[in-house]
Amino acid sequence: MRENHQELDDTDKRLLNIISKNARISLQALAERLHLSATPCARRFKRLEDEKFIQNFRACLNREKIGLGLSVFVGVTMDKHTPERFKRFEEEAKKLPEIIRMSIVTGRAEDYLLQVAVRDMRAYEEFLLGKLNRIEGVSQVHSAFEMRCVLDREPEL
């Protein structure tokens, strides 16, 4: 049992799957797809939001069309493994708009795995040398350039 959460039933799972593919679906259309009336559907939806099963809603932008056609996966190794060093790195990295995803990882030589979206190779060089490598504690950086995204989706329940 999830702490402080009700278990997800099949209808909750179907609701989450539907909105993960189309967050703009109307409440009425969602209720119809779930074979519910609008009021119970709205209550379920609100509960799933309140319990943080639904974190947020956002538009997925076409990065290439908005001028951010280069996606880079960046492994970052820190010089010291202390909570203070990691906290400081995270605070500074969160300020960099080029970083679109950042995770602490294990099982690799790197401590962090970032995804960076930039205009082109020159913009990546400016980001890397002018911003990322200047954050105190960064000792090594490894870059892998995305050739083509094959799959990008939310998990299905």
In this structure, which amino acid lies at residue 85?
A: R
Question: Per the structure block, which two tokens stand in for 22?
Answer: 């189309």
Tell me which DSSP letter residue 79 carries.
S
pLDDT in tens, 85-108: 999 999 999 999 999 999 999 998
Q: What number is the average pLDDT over the span 121-148?
A: 98
Tokens found for residue 90: 């995270």
Q: What is the pLDDT of residue 116?
A: 98
Q: Are 18 and 33 in contact (CB under 8 A)?
A: yes
Q: Rounded distance, CA 152 to CA 145, Å?
A: 16
| Per-residue pLDDT tens over the stretch 101-133 | 999 999 989 999 999 999 999 999 999 999 999
Q: Looking at residue 7, what is its pLDDT?
A: 87
Q: Indicate the DSSP class of residue 153.
A: -
Q: Which long-range contacts (CB under 8 A, 24 or more apart) does 59-67 make?
A: 63/117, 67/119
Q: Domains in the chain, please, with CATH?
A: 10-50 (1.10.10.10), 70-145 (3.30.70.920)
